[in-house]
A and B are shown apart, each in its own frame.
Chain A
Amino acid sequence: MCFISYRNSLTLWSSQVFCFPDGIDNVLFIIVSSVAFPKEIKVQRILRERFCHQSPHDNLFEVQVQYKHLIELLKRTAIHGESNSVLIIGPRGSGKTMLINHALKELMEVEGMSENVLQVHLNGLLQINDKIALKEITRQLNLENVVGDKVFGSFAENLSFLLEALKKGDRTSSCPVIFILDEFDLFAHHKNQTLLYNLLDISQSAQTPVAIIGLTCRLDILELLEKRVKSRFSHRQIHLMNSFSFAQYLKIFKEQLSLPSVFPEKIFAKKWNESVQDLSEERSVREVLQKHFNVSKNLRSLHMLLMLALNRVTPSHPFITAADLMEANQLCSMDSKGNIVHGLSVLEICLIIAMKHLNDIYEEEPFNFQMVYNEFQKFVQRKAHSVYNFEKPVVMKAFEHLQQLELIRPMERTSVNAQREYQLMKLLLDNTQIMNALQKYPNCPTDVRQWATSSLSWL
C-alpha cells in the first residue's frame, strides 16, 4: 500500500524528470540510429524540444508591444551607440528570457551586427558577488587578451581595469556592449551595489555605449536599489504580465501542440493537427484547460500539462485524447501530501486522527507523543475489537515514521538528551486534507472513519 502511494508521488516527479528529454532522446537515438524513427517518437521529440527549450525560434505570444520596445532600444544602442538601461519585470515563466533571446537573435540577424555588438550574459545565481561578476565580464569581453595569459589580479585591480577599459571608449567609435543581467534582484544584494552603480554610471556617461538589461521577477526591484544607483537607472521598465484571456490561452494551446509544416511525414502531420483542432473544440478538454488556466496562467505550467499528455503517445495510441489531458491535469493538481497519507498504515492513520483531535481541542497548540498516545489509548479501549492494542514502543516507532515523512514537525531542534515522548510537535496537515485522504483510503475500518469525523463518536 505504501509502495503504491509512493509510486503515485513518484510518477508526479518522474514526469517532471521527463521534462529534460535530451538524455532520453540521445539514448533512443543511439539505440535506433540505423532504424527509421517511428513517427510518434519524432512528434514527441519535436514537441518536447518546444516545451523544454526556450528556443527563440518559436512565436511570441501576446508580448508584441514589449518586444517592439526592447528591440528598438537594442537597435539604438547597437546602431546609434546610445547607452540605455532597462528592466524586464514579470512573474516566473512569463517569458522574460525568451523575449530577450528573441530580440538578440533578431538584432544579430541584421547584417554586420554580430561583429559589431558585444554581449555579456550574467546570472545572479552564478555570479554571486562582484568579484566573480567582474571576472566573468572580462572573460566575456575577451579582455584577457589584453592582459595576456596572466592569472587575474586582485579585485581592486580588476575593477579599475574594467572601468578603465570601458571609460576609454566613446559613443561613435567603440563597439557597443549589451549586458544581460538575469536575476537582477540578486545583484542588488551585492556589497554596496558596486557593480550596478558602475554599469549604470557608464550608461549615463559618455563612455563606451552599453545597454544594461535586467531580468527580474520582483515587482519591488526599484526599492532594492540604493538611491544613487536608482537615480542612474533610466527607469525604463518592460512588464510581462501574462495578460491574456482564456481564448488566447486556447489558441496558444493549439499552436503549441500542432506540428510544423516541415514535418517529414505530411499525412501524419495533417492528421495530428486535425486531431489537435478537434481536441481544442471538445468540451471536456476546454474544462481541463479552463481549470488549469484558473490555477496558473504561465506557459510553463501549460507545457507541463502537455508534456504529461504527450508521454502517453505510443504507436498503438498515436494521438492525444481528452482522457490523456484529464489524467495529466489530475497528476498536475494532485495533492502530494494526501498521496503520502494513502500509503500510511492503520496505526499511523489513527495517530494522525488523534493529532487532529488534539488540534481541535487545544486550538493548534503543539502536542507531544504522550498526549497523542493517550488520545489513541482512549479510542482503543472503547473500540478494542477493530484495532489492535499496540505496545507503546510500536506506537513510538509509527510516530517517528510520521516525523520522517515530515507529516509532523518538532517545534525545536531535536536535542540528544531531551525525552522523545515529550518533545513538542506540530501537525503539518490540514483537516480537510486528512478527511479527503481518509475517504480514499483503501480498507479503512469503519470505526476509524467514524472516529475521524467526531472525537466523541465512541460515546
Chain B
Amino acid sequence: MAYCSARLRTRQTYLWVGRPSLDQKLHYQTYKEMSLKREGYSTEIHIQVGQFVLIEGDDNENPYVAKLVELFEDDSEPYSKKRARVQRFIRFCEVPVCKQHLLGRKPDTQEIFWYDNPACNSNISVETIIGCVRVVALAPDEVIPIDLKNEKTFFVKLSWNEKKFKPLPPEVFAQLNKLQEDNHRYQKSTEAKTKSTESPSWTTTEHAVKRIESRHSTSKSRHTASHPVTPRARKRLELSSFPRTPNTRISQATSCASLDSPGRMKRKVAFSEIMSPSKRSLPDGSQTLSPALKAPEKTGEIQHSCTKDAKKTSPDHGMILRTRVPALKTTETSEERTLTPTRGGRKSSVAPSVILKPEYIERREGKEPEVQDEATSISRIRRKSSLLTLNRIRQQLRFLGNSKSDQSDEEFLPAAEISDCDSEEEEASTTPLSRRTPNSMSRNLRSSMKSSLQTPSKTPKKTPEPRTPRDATPRIRSRNLAAQEPTNMLEEARLRLHVSAVPESLPCREQEFQDIYNFVESKLLDRTGGCMYISGVPGTGKTATVHEVMRCLQQAAQDSDVPPFQYIEVNGMKLTEPHQVYVQILQKLTGKRATANHAAKLLAKRFCTQGSSQETTVLLVDELDLLWTQKQDVMYNLFDWPTHKEARLVVLTIANTMDLPERIMMNRVSSRLGLTRMSFQPYTHSQLQQILMSRLRHVKAFEDDTIQLVARKVAALSGDARRCLDICRRATEICEFSCQKPDSPGLVTTAHLLEAIDEMFSSSYITAIKNSSVLEQSFLRAILAEFRRSGLEEATLQQVYVQHVALCRMEGLPYPTMSETMAVCSRLGACRLLLVEPSRNDVLLRVRLNVSQDDVLYALKEE
C-alpha cells in the first residue's frame, strides 16, 4: 500500500513495456503492458492490459476502479500522451445519493458495480493510474465470501447504468470470471508447488529465518503483515513456482543486481529492515513485487531466490497449505498472522498486533520499544476481546456456512479472523482516533481500507466522528387528531387558494417555462454547462416555474428523453452566511459534510478537474443577492464552475432585482454570469384572474365578478400572486363569518372581498389617530401648530409643550403637566405615529411626524 502514499510524495514515471503495435485505423500505437516506477525506489509495477487498476479520483480514500482495456500513445492530447482506455466500475458512494435507494439493500463495503454507461469518459491519462487491484465477479445472489474481504479485493455483482441496477450481462460475467479462473489456477499450482518444496527448504533456511525473526521480530512481523494485503503478495508466491505467469508479470528489480546470491539478498533484506525502519516501503516493495524478468536465462536464479525468499517468510507457506478453500482465490493476511504465534513465544505478542496499514506502521515505529514492553499486557487484554469476537464471528460463519463445503476451513478460519479482529482492536486502542470498539466486521474493514489509502506522510486525517445530529432525521412529532378535511365549499376553496397548494399547472408562465426548459434541456443534451439569471419582483412565480421545469425534466430523464442529471437547490435566505452555500451544495451532491473552506476545495476539485465522469448537475440558487460578499468569491465560484468543460454544471439563479449583475457584481463576476437572463414581469390583472380561475376550477365559491375585482386591485398594487390568493382566502373567511347558517354559506360577494382588501391594505395610522386619547390628539394638534409657526418639519418637545399648554387652555382641558406630555409623546413614538429621539434628551428631544400632516388633519377633523 506504500505506493499510494509514495505517490503523493514522489514523482512517478510511466513507461511502456514491450513493443508498440501500430493501430492502422486510428494512427496510434498500442501497448500491452506498462511499468510504473517511483522516483527514489528501485521497483517497478508492471500493469498489463486486462488487469484491474485504481485510478486517481476525487478523494484519496476512494479511488476509481476500472479495468484496463487498452494502452496507447496519443499525440493529440496536449498534456499526457500516454493514454489508457478503461472500463469503469463504480462504487456505491459514487452512485448519486438520490438513486442509491434503487439498490434496495445495503451494499457491501467492498462491492462495486460494472458501470454500463457509454457516455462515461473511458479515455484517461496513464498518469492517473495508481496501481492494480483485484476484482471478483459474483452472481447477484451469491454471498460475498467473508474470508475474501480484504481491502484490496472488490466484488462485482451488478451493473449500473445510471437508472437502475441490473445483473451483470453474461458476457461480462464470463469475462470477469475467466480472469478469476486464471488466478485461481495459478494459485492452486502454487500451493502444490510450495507444498512439495516446503520441508527441505525450510530446513536449509531455518537458521537464517530464525535469526532474523528473533533479532527483529517487530520489523519482521511488520514485514510479513504488510505485504500480503495486496494482491501482489499472493502473486509473489505464485511466482515462486511459476515465474512466468502470463497474468501477473510482477518483477522484482532490486537495485542490487545480486539476485543470484540468495545469501546476500537475505542479508540485505535483513539489513534494511534493521537499519531503516522509516524506509519500510522500500524493502517491502522490493520483496512484494516479485520478479517479472523476462530474460529466460535468469529464470532459474530467480526461481531459486524467490523460493528462498518464500522460505524466509515461511509462515506464508504453512498458511497456504491450510487454506485450501475452493471458493477462496486469495490468501488472507490475517491467516498468516495467526500462524506466527505458533512459531515463537515472543512473536506471539507482537505479530498479531501488526496492521496492514502503512499509516499505522509509521506510527508504530516511533514507539516500538513501548509496544514491545506492553506487549504482554496487551495480549492479556486482547484475549478477552478475542473471545467476544470469536463468538461473533462464529455466528456470522454459521450464517455463511451453507456456502462453505470444506469442514477444515471452518475450523481454521475463525482463528484467522480472530487475530484479524484482535489487531484491529488493538489498533483502535492505540490510535489517537477514538474509534468505537469494532462490533462489526464491515466497519473494521472499511476503516482499515480507508486508512490504508491515506497518505501516511500527512497526519492521519481525522475521520469525522459520526455525530448524532447529522444522522438523526429530525421531525416535528405527528399529530394525534386527524386533520379535518374541508366540509363545505368555502373550506375547499380556501384549501385550494392557499399559497402552498401546488397547482396542476402554472398558468400564465408558459413562455418562461418553455425558455427555462429549453435552456436546461439543451445544456443537458450538449453535456455542457451554463448560467441563467432569473429576476422578478416577489410573488411572480420564479421559484415555482423553475421547480416545475425541474419536475418535468426529471420526468423526462426517467423516460430517458434527456440524459440523467442531478438537481440541487440552495436558497440564500436559508443560509446563515454566504460561504455556507458550499457546505450545502456538497452535502446535497455527495452527502458529505465539511467545513465551508474544505467544501469549497472539494467542489472546485470536482467541477474543475478533468477526468471525472459525472452526470450533469443542475443547481438552483434562490435569493442570489444574499450570496454577496466583499470579495464576491462565492458568486464568482458559482459562475466560474460552469465554464469548465468537465464540470457539466448548469446554474440557475433567482433574485428580485433585474439589474443585480450591474449593480452589485464585479465585472469578472457578471461577465461569467453571461447574458442568458430572464425577467418575470408582474402579473397583469387578466393573468391573476386566470390563476385564480384555474385554482377554483371545480369549486363554486365566488361570485363571478369578484375574482376580476380582486385581480384588478392586486395588479394595480403589486402584481403579487400571493397577495391575490391571500385576499381571496381572507374573503372566504369573512363570508363564513358573516353568514348566519354555518352549514350552507353563500358565495363570496364583492362586499366580502372589499372588506378583506380594506383590512389588508388600509393604512392603520388614521384609525390609530382617531382612537387615541384626547390629550394625544391635542398633542398632535400642537405639533401641527408648532410646525406651522416655525415652518420646519421638526420641533423640540419644549416648543411643542408650549403650544400644547396653550391649546389645552383654549379647549378647556386641564393643564397638562410636563410628565404627562412626555408620556403622551413616548406613547405616540412607540407606535410610530411620531418619530422621536431617545428620551434621554428630555425636553430637548426632537419630534417629527411619521404621517403626512394632511392625514393627521383629516383624522382629527372627523369627530
Contacts and interface: CB of A to CB of B under 8 A. Distances in A.
A177 B495 contact: no
A160 interface: yes
Interface of B: 467-469, 472-484, 486, 491, 494-495, 498-502, 537-539, 573-577, 580, 583-584, 623, 626, 656, 720, 722-723, 726, 729-730, 733, 737, 759-761, 764-765, 767-768, 770-776, 798, 801-802, 805, 813-814, 816-820, 823-824, 827, 830-833, 842-844, 850
Interface bin, chain A: 35 or more
11 contacts: A81-B479, A143-B474, A161-B474, A174-B477, A175-B476, A192-B573, A204-B722, A207-B500, A235-B726, A293-B773, A296-B827
Interface string A355-396: 000000000000000000000000000000000000000000
Nearest to B844: A426
A232 interface: yes
Nearest to B587: A160
A177 to B, nearest CB: 6
Contact of A80 (B474, B486, B773): B486
Contact of A239 (B484, B495, B767, B817): B767
A125 to B, nearest CB: 14
Contacts of B850: 220
B633 to A, nearest CB: 17
A183 to B, nearest CB: 11
A24 interface: no
Interface of A: 68, 72, 79-83, 89-92, 112-113, 115-116, 118, 130, 141, 143, 146-148, 150, 153, 155-157, 159-166, 168-169, 171-177, 192, 194, 197-198, 201, 204-208, 217-220, 227-228, 230-232, 234-237, 239, 241-243, 291, 293-297, 333-338, 406, 409, 426, 428-430, 432-433
A169 B629 CA distance: 33
A232 B475 CA distance: 23
Contacts of B842: 406, 409, 428
A199 B583 CA distance: 22
B436 to A, nearest CB: 15
Contacts of A150: 467-469
A406 to B, nearest CB: 7
Contacts of B772: 91, 242, 297
Contacts of A165: 474-476
Given A175-B479, A428-B844, A430-B802, A295 B773 contact: yes
Contacts of B833: 219
Contacts of B817: 333-335, 338
Contact of A115 (B480, B486, B583, B729): B480
A163 to B, nearest CB: 6
B843 A430 contact: yes
Nearest to B626: A192
Contact of A217 (B467, B723, B830): B830
Given A156-B577, A204-B500, A227-B538, A219 B494 contact: no
Contact of A172 (B469, B483, B577, B774): B483
A147 B656 contact: no
B474 A146 contact: yes
A82 B484 CA distance: 10
B780 to A, nearest CB: 14
A173 B482 CA distance: 7
Contacts of B500: 83, 171, 204-207
A296 to B, nearest CB: 5
B607 to A, nearest CB: 22
Given A165-B475, A337-B818, A241 B768 contact: yes
A81 B491 CA distance: 12
A430 B764 contact: no
A235 B513 CA distance: 29
B468 A83 contact: no
Nearest to A196: B573
Residue of A130, A159, A295, A409 most packed against chain B (CB within 10 A): A295
A207 B574 CA distance: 15
Given A82-B494, A116-B481, A231-B720, A169 B764 contact: no
Nearest to A296: B773
Given A198-B573, A231-B539, A234-B726, A168 B656 contact: no
A336 B336 CA distance: 95
A234 B722 CA distance: 8
A146 B720 CA distance: 39
Given A116-B481, A171-B483, A219 B831 contact: yes
B760 A237 contact: yes
Contacts of A409: 842, 844
Nearest to B726: A234
A208 B476 contact: yes
Contact of A174 (B478, B495, B775, B827): B478
A426 B656 CA distance: 50
B469 A237 contact: no
Contact of B576 (A141, A159, A175): A159
Given A219-B832, A426-B844, A153 B469 contact: yes
Residue among A92, A156, A237 with max Cβ neighbours from chain B (10 Å): A156
Contacts of A335: 817-820
